[in-house]
Structure 1
Amino acid sequence: MILTVTPNPSLDRTYEVPALGRGEVLRATGDRMDPGGKGVNVSRAVAAAGHRSVAVLPLGGAPGALVAELLAAEGIVVAPVPVAGDTRSNISIAEPDGTLTKINAAGPELTAAESELLLSAIRTHSTAADWIACCGSLPPGLAPEWYAELVARAHGAGVRIALDTSGPSLLAALRERPDVVKPNADELAQAVGRPLATIGDAVKAAQELRESGAAAVLASLGADGQLLVSDSGTYFAWAPVETVRSNVGAGDASLAGFLAAGGTGPDALRSAVAHGAAAVQLPGSVMPTPQDLDLAAVIVTAEVPLDRVLTEQGSPR
């Protein structure tokens, strides 16, 4: 069972448009509504793959009630923590060439009491968990050290923990030695404070995160593939993608695939890339099922092409 923690969940609305024109009236060719937030997407991908997932998240108001309803409909066990503020609503606009424009709200401010209730709910439900996946930004009211405290508590309970966040929250959590961290190229560049132009640059940055405390680094490099840097070695993997329809939640699907496959080694990396490649070919934040996956198409190698220039170079913004 994979337990997910989403401190700042959302209700996500995705619109597909022929082209995005600033100041124009746009006619959507398709739209959908999904429960959102990085941890929520991990739970959805785990459930779509046929595994059990429990989603711990603060929920408030009508948007929060709808998020819980949508998650339950996907077979996910929802462990809501009631909060006074309304759950945020986000908007994504997807164009045919794969370009995605997102508008994300800040989310409700959590009180100290609500923060403690969230930690208590995680402790209660983590006893049966094989992994805890903590994902996304922290809402107003939670200090950057909140994830660090969560990692420490998880390890105290003997549970492995994967962390997908960025900035001060990531750096603060490294001291508690999370089992896996999953940055993208920009987040990796931000963590080391310099741009990343090649896959070799990304490998060096991942090694620095390991030196700072991460047991393993699963780095998403967009269309260029993914890296895994851990005690078992350094591996690079990629898969061909015919058409990118939406990259919303693709990184979260990758993390779900990695953890569902054991969370260690090249086989888990292969699963991560297969899940991510399948996700970008689906609309909105739809998560891939086993029928969508093509594990045979994924190439995994320990001969990392260090000099290859990244298509989407990491920038420490």
Structure 2
Amino acid sequence: MERIILEPIADWQQKCEEVGFHFSYLNDRPYWNEGACYCFSVQELDELEQVTEDLHQLCLEAIDRIIREERFQQLCISPDFAELCRRSWERDDPTLYGRFDLAYDGKNPPKLLEYNADTPTALLEASVVQWTWLEEVFPTADQFNSIHEKLLTAFQEIDWLREQTLYFTCVRDSKEDLGTVEYLRDLAIQAGLETQHIFIEDIGWSRSEEVFCDLDNQVIQSLFKLYPWEWLIREPFGQYLLTEPVRLLEPAWKLILSNKAILPILWEFFPNHPNLLPSSFNAFQLSNLSQLARRSDV
């Protein structure tokens, strides 16, 4: 693995805008950085792909065991939503994506830092924008990931998405979330799906019909959400999710994997695994308290 220092393309911001990347600046600071890139060997890429697949399988095994052993209390998941997770898992509700954050130096085994299993971003940047940059700066090189192609295939293969309009939602005041959601919606359109965008603040609930609806009172039956399950269940409308009036991407069983408490559970289930870091609930709780303390100082 080699880190290469580069001179940014002179009109990089314009080029980002041209491919729909409208949040290359966030909070008046550059979010997209062309000052360096990384070059990997084929062997390193093979290792990363294999490790990612192995970790995903470990996570699926962990879900099954957590459900069988009813370990939901460790994840702070209430009994009602634990049952929702169970039903979702037993139905094998489809998932669209997830993102492993790994520490890797090209010499030692990659280590899992976090599994963002519910609301991963950096999709548009890592697929379309990076590919556009690569064609200009390194036209003979290849891009490691195939995010764009695999997301398109996933939208094509989830059968129930063709049954009704698929709504895409995120919070109103986040350029990054909106850009990510619109990229995914564009992929869904390419996959032949009927789509509609709605901000999460505009989603309504019909008490008489017991359904979610849009601003035109059209029923929302399928919804992609860039909004964490942990937040959804705490919203005033969270209780209505228990009756499953809407099909969701990501599915309810992702409540288990997106929870940071999955890290000490993985270490318990698979101790000394070469791609896991030692983790315990005591350390996890202390880490959370430390983070909260830092945030309160800001």
More helix by share: 2
Q: Same fold (TM over 0.5)?
A: no
TM-score norm. by structure 1 comes to 0.29
Which has the larger Rg? 2
TM-score norm. by structure 2 comes to 0.31
More strand by share: 1
Higher relative contact order (CA 8 A, sep 6+): 2
